[in-house]
A and B are shown apart, each in its own frame.
Chain A
Amino acid sequence: METLVACLAGFLVSMAIWLMLSGNLMRFLFGLLLLSNGVNLAILAAGRLTPGAPPLLGASGALPPDTMANALPQALLLTAIVIGFGLFAFALALTIRAYRSFGHLEVDRMRSAEPAEDRR
């Protein structure tokens, strides 16, 4: 099970890198989204998958008989997902603003912060 999730995470990351190498800002953002999802999956797998063993205590706080899932990686994931969502929302808004400012999303042609060439 962990192997499968790990392979999926690797696949997502490789797709993400392919998308992020594009000069188009929108493609880059999709890549970033895939990358953070791939990393989230990797963290979930690194915390060990224990299907059917939720981290819940029984009646009057009794511990479950055998295994219990580690809840911490999931708590980390929730935090990371929320933070990632916020950052992605900002990046998306920035992209819209950039599109309105420049009329295109080709990063190579965004040079208004760079000095003009051959100035002297």
Chain B
Amino acid sequence: MSWVLALPILIPLVTAVLAFLLRGSRMGDLASVAGAVASLGVAVLLVGVVLDRGVVAGQVGGWQAPYGITLVADHLSAAMVLITAIIGLAVAVWSLAEIGPDSSRLGYHALFQSLLGGVAGAFLTGDLFNLYVWFEVLLISSFGLLVIGGRKQAIDGAVKYVTLNLIATVLFLAGAGLLYGATGTLNMADLRGAVAASPDQGLMTLISMMLMVAFGMKAAVFPLFFWLPASYHTPHYAVSAVFAGLLTKVGVYALMRVFTLIFVGDIGYTHEILLWVSLLTMLTGVLGAAAQSDFRKILSFHIISQIGYMVLGLALMTPLAVMGAVFYLLHHIVVKTNLFLIAGVSRRLTGSSDLYAIGGLYRSAPLLAALFIIPAFSLAGFPPLSGFWAKFVIVRASLDGREWLVAGVALLVGLLTIFSMTKIWAEAFWKAHPDGRQPALAELPLSARWQMMGPIVALAVMTVAIGAFPSAFLDFATKGAEQLLDPAAYVAAVLGEARR
């Protein structure tokens, strides 16, 4: 058992226990931050190991694959674990300023850390049923985080979030169970061979559709996204920031894993569906955002439209397109979390998230305005920020594949994204506050100012750095895409050379 594979999961879970025991006290808050720092250290170590040795796998409890549970990290998994740790640390620090003693006493930090543990587990597992278990871990933690404020609005959002996500969960379970019944294995690397060798390819496609719906609902693609805009604007800002950054991406990751590793027998059918789904997801998301007037609701709809780009990269299934999807996934997590954190600061300063009831931030809090510009323009795809390269690669890949319609939609959605970012800019930052207030950052206590602005600045710097030096990240994503499209190394690492 390789410890570097287990620690990214164990550290958050141990931290969750500690934070629960120390809940409500300052020590509990600090334990959460310390755990997040440790996670980040281990995640950096994991990326180092993967860069050095390629795909690494470990068998839990020493049970040989395909009988035991496998933990496995390739470029994509390792990068996702690292970005999870970065977001975990940023939001853990940020929530010190937002989460009051009430929520803290109810176990906010424990739930937050177990959510991170579940997310890391989902990225690292090489077993389909184990993936289901990690989905449940992160799901139940997210349920708790969603309602922890106990406000009426949050209960309303949670009802929709919980019910729809539970249906997706049951579908996933059914798909996994039937796949085991048909092939006799649940190890994902082993499933690749078993599914290809199955005499009943129609049944395999049917099961792949069940998993596509289940993961699609988690990823919030059209037409399964309705739980997302109904709930993401209701909880604490720290909670919605970590949800926006990580949760839907777990669904996208699962789609990418399953539809590059296991279900590649009928690409003409399955990936054509993904293609249309991605187009409609991009369009409905961005049009939905245009109709909203709440800071967080606009951002929530943008998550949906951006998910479309990632699924599009997967659907095109060319090396360039999958590389774009990997790059998009990583860039988007940083940008989206940052936008929600900025929305949180804006809410704290102006007292509302309704864009028609706030304003004046450009004049009174120019630093916040400048920091908003970076992720907002990155999301819309302005050069030289990270989002430009992400969109550039995806559009280039669709042009190379002679998918003119796809490329056109991708560009149009980019334009419409600018439109709604302009709306936030004009309403929250540019125009004067309707009540004549002058909301300044100096109104926040000094510690809260550091705790809130520190993570935002750090994430903004990352966005700029990815945009300014894209080649290192693009190379990394290229390697990740190669591993996804030719999983021989992945299969060999899990099952051993002999069974390749």
Interface residues, chain A, CB within 8 Å of chain B? Answer: 20, 25, 28, 32, 35-36, 39, 42-43, 45-48, 72-73, 76, 79-80, 83, 86-87, 90-91, 94-95, 97-98, 101-102, 107, 110-115, 119-120
Contact = CB atoms under 8 A, between A and B. Distances in A.
Given A32-B170, A91-B163, A112-B152, A42 B177 contact: yes
A46 B178 contact: yes
Contacts of B174: 39, 42-43
Contacts of A111: 156
A87 B180 contact: no
What DSSP secondary structure best describes chain B's contact surface? helix
A90 B293 contact: no
A63 B232 CA distance: 54
A13 B130 CA distance: 24
Contact of A87 (B132, B136, B147): B136
Contacts of A86: 136, 140
B106 to A, nearest CB: 13
A97 B153 CA distance: 12
Contact of A113 (B140, B156, B170, B182): B156
Find the residue from A42, A45, A83 having the highest chain B CB count within 10 A: A83
Contacts of A114: 230
Contacts of A101: 152, 155-156
A94 B159 contact: yes
Contacts of A120: 356
Nearest to A76: B129
B163 A32 contact: yes
Given A90-B162, A94-B159, A107-B159, A32 B140 contact: no
A41 B144 CA distance: 29
B178 A87 contact: no
27 contacts: A32-B166, A36-B170, A39-B173, A39-B174, A43-B178, A47-B177, A73-B180, A76-B180, A79-B133, A80-B132, A80-B173, A83-B133, A83-B136, A87-B140, A91-B166, A94-B147, A95-B159, A97-B155, A98-B155, A98-B156, A101-B155, A101-B156, A107-B160, A110-B156, A112-B153, A113-B153, A119-B356
Interface of B: 129, 132-133, 136, 139-140, 143-144, 147, 150, 152-160, 162-163, 166-167, 169-170, 173-174, 176-178, 180-182, 230-231, 233-234, 292-294, 297, 356
Contacts of A46: 177-178, 180-182
B157 A113 contact: yes
A43 B177 contact: yes
A86 B143 CA distance: 12
Closest 4 interchain pairs by CB?
A46-B181, A43-B177, A113-B156, A39-B174
B180 A47 contact: yes
Contacts of A48: 181
B173 A112 contact: no
Contacts, number: 108
Contacts of B176: 76
Find the residue from B136, B150, B155 having the highest chain A CB count within 10 A: B155
B167 A113 contact: no
A70 B160 CA distance: 38
Contacts of B155: 94, 97-98, 101-102
Contacts of A87: 136, 139-140, 143, 166, 169
B35 to A, nearest CB: 23
A79 B132 CA distance: 10
Nearest to A86: B140
A32 B167 contact: yes
Contacts of B153: 112-113
Given A28-B163, A87-B136, A110-B156, A43 B173 contact: yes
Contacts of B139: 87
B143 A90 contact: yes
Given A28-B163, A98-B155, A113-B153, A39 B136 contact: no
Given A83-B133, A87-B140, A94-B162, A47 B181 contact: yes
Contacts of A35: 167, 170
Nearest to B178: A46
Find the residue from B140, B177, B230 having the highest chain A CB count within 10 A: B177
A73 B186 CA distance: 11
Contacts of B180: 43, 46-47, 72-73, 76
Given A32-B163, A90-B140, A97-B147, A42 B156 contact: no
B463 to A, nearest CB: 30
Given A46-B182, A76-B129, A94-B159, 5 more contacts: A25-B159, A35-B170, A110-B159, A113-B234, A115-B294
